Amino acid sequence: MAQAASAIRYLRRNGRLLVGIILLLILFLFAFVGRLFVDGNDAYPLSAPANLAPTLEYPFGTDSQGRDLLAVGVMGTYLTTKIGVVAGSLGLGFGTILGFLAAYYGGVLDTVVRWVVDVLLTIPSLLVLVVIASTFQGGIDVNGMALVVALLAWMWPARVIRSQVLTMKQRAFVRVAQLSGSSNLEIIFKELMPNLLPFLGASLVGSVTGAIFASLGLEALGLGPMREPTLGMTIYWVMYYGAFVRGMWWWIMNPIVIIVILFVGLFLVSAGLDELANPRLRRRV
């Protein structure tokens, strides 16, 4: 109870984290709870009359493919979030492993990892992802999109976590653990990892945000899962059918509002977790 009360007091002081959690909770209820009340088949073509403005039967209207845009919004939020979470988690996990190994063991491994990361970071990531995604014959599905985005989602986590571990392994508590006979794995998992958990949480949010942004860019170019109603593919169909020119504002607003709420929520959560992880920014509860 005391820990819960302390967490509540901290959330009251960390307004950015609180507002970000509320925004993401709203999207969670919309995407995951909404799937219990919305027929997922309505998010696919020819399930409703085409080009309808919002009505009582179709609160978000329909598009030129005859899709219920409420169902598209619900399924699109879920699928896009899934891509971001899977790709961001894979990228952070691989980057964390490389960062820890390179920084803690040093030597040739550290030199190779640092060189590879520095070289890859100079190459425009979106360009590489476009080339990779365009090689898939017959299109790509949601899981494939997540894997494609994850291919380049590990570089920044590897670099940042490496720098954090390089700093922490020189501290007194690590020296004490080494003198007490603790193995390298015990030091990594019992000493270094727990101290980096708030930072890893902030890094995960950043990785998910970057993965979602990359997937939206690919899908808006028509390189995403063409048969799935993701937010990026919704934007692609908006441009393909000329919704701007035809004045179909309800079709345009559907993905834009969701994306704005999603990115604002992720940004605020990331900023709030950064305050928690950074002693210079941390406020006393």
Q: What is the pLDDT of residues 6-47, one digit of tens each?
A: 556 656 667 788 888 999 999 999 998 888 888 877 778 777
Per-residue confidence (pLDDT) for residue 5, from 0 to 100? 58
Per-residue confidence (pLDDT) for residue 278, from 0 to 100? 64
Per-residue confidence (pLDDT) for residue 184, from 0 to 100? 76
Please give the mean pLDDT across all residues of the chain: 84
Per-residue confidence (pLDDT) for residue 280, from 0 to 100? 59
Window from 98-107, 127-136, 273-282 with minimum mean pLDDT: 273-282
Q: What is the pTM of this model?
A: 0.86
| pLDDT bucket at 74, cuts 50 / 70 / 90 | very high
The DSSP secondary-structure symbol of 247 reads T
Q: Are 104 and 184 in contact (CB under 8 A)?
A: yes
**CATH class of the domain comprising 14-49+58-281:** mainly alpha
Is residue 157's pLDDT more than 80?
yes
> Token digits for 58?
């179709």
* For the chain, domain boundaries: 14-49+58-281
Is residue 194's pLDDT more than 90?
no
Distances (CA, A) of 206 to 137, 210, 238: 31, 6, 28
Distances (CA, A) of 229 to 45, 142, 234, 266, 269: 10, 10, 6, 22, 26
